[in-house]
Amino acid sequence: MMTSYFTNKRILVTGGAGFLGSQVINHLIENGVDRKSISIPRSRECDLRVWENCLKSVQGIDIVIHLAAKVGGIGYNREHPAELFYDNAIMGIQLMEAARISGVQKFVAVGTVCAYPKYTPVPFQEEELWNGYPEETNAPYGLAKKMMLVQAQAYRAQYGYNAIFLIPVNLYGPGDNFNPDSSHVIPALIKKFVDAKENGDKEVIIWGTGSASREFIYVKDASRAIVLATEKYNGHEPINIGAGKEISIKCLVEIIQNITKYDGEIIWDAEKPDGQPRRCLNTLKAKTEFGFEAVTPFEEGLRETVKWYMTNKIS
């Protein structure tokens, strides 16, 4: 749907070549943004951990949508806690400051559900964000991203700066990261089952007990939410971005096993961590503030993701 808000706006999308960023750019173009008005700094040429690169990247920009992040699943988080904290914190802090002093009109900071306390009551409400410490394996990443909320609110209080903070739940969809060293749960499971079926493996080993729950949002829904918030939300409170539906890992495994038609045995490795016990967001504020609701049925999104992996995987 075309909107006049983005007319003649120059937009910087960090992480714009990535899984979520490429979909955000598609939605911006659908909303009337000229592709030539969108700047995408590539990490190879523009390391946002370097202050001078942050300053260069925001010159002449009206809106920053900050999606760039160093991310991974539970295993990656356990092995790289220092990098996940430093890289994510320094990128966000420097980029927002560069945007402010360069006269960028609006800064859209995209955080993570990992910022919530480990034992947040379900469904997670934004008011619970500071009521405890995050799940240990996610804490360095989650806290680094949450510092952008502190920064955004501080900048709004002192400078009147228009910075907003969004909290997306776990994403999934075509184009996701299927690297077993750094992927999240859905692409990791899809890869396990598709590869096991093709290789004729008699069993698939899954981390944890299956008792933990998660919520997932299809990447196209998440990108639509971010573009809507960029246009319509200018408040100081953080806003959850999710589908508002919870599923156990055990049930998720069964659905993916069914979609991939794998008929071998499932082995649960209970020595491995489950991560945060439960995750499910209250998404009422997103609906109230900027009219967002997720629309993609979960199994439909999973089928599209499996199809994409089977078509695009490198053997």
- Residues known to be catalytic: 141
CA distance 63 to 11: 5
Q: List the beta bridge partners of residue 244.
A: none
Confirm if 151 and 96 have CB atoms less than 8 A apart. yes
CA distance 102 to 105: 9
Confirm if 177 and 150 have CB atoms less than 8 A apart. no
**50 residue type, one letter:** V
Nearby residues of 101 by Cβ (< 8 Å), 6 or more positions away:
none
CA distance 47 to 70: 12
CA distance 307 to 185: 17
CA distance 286 to 239: 6
CA distance 297 to 118: 27
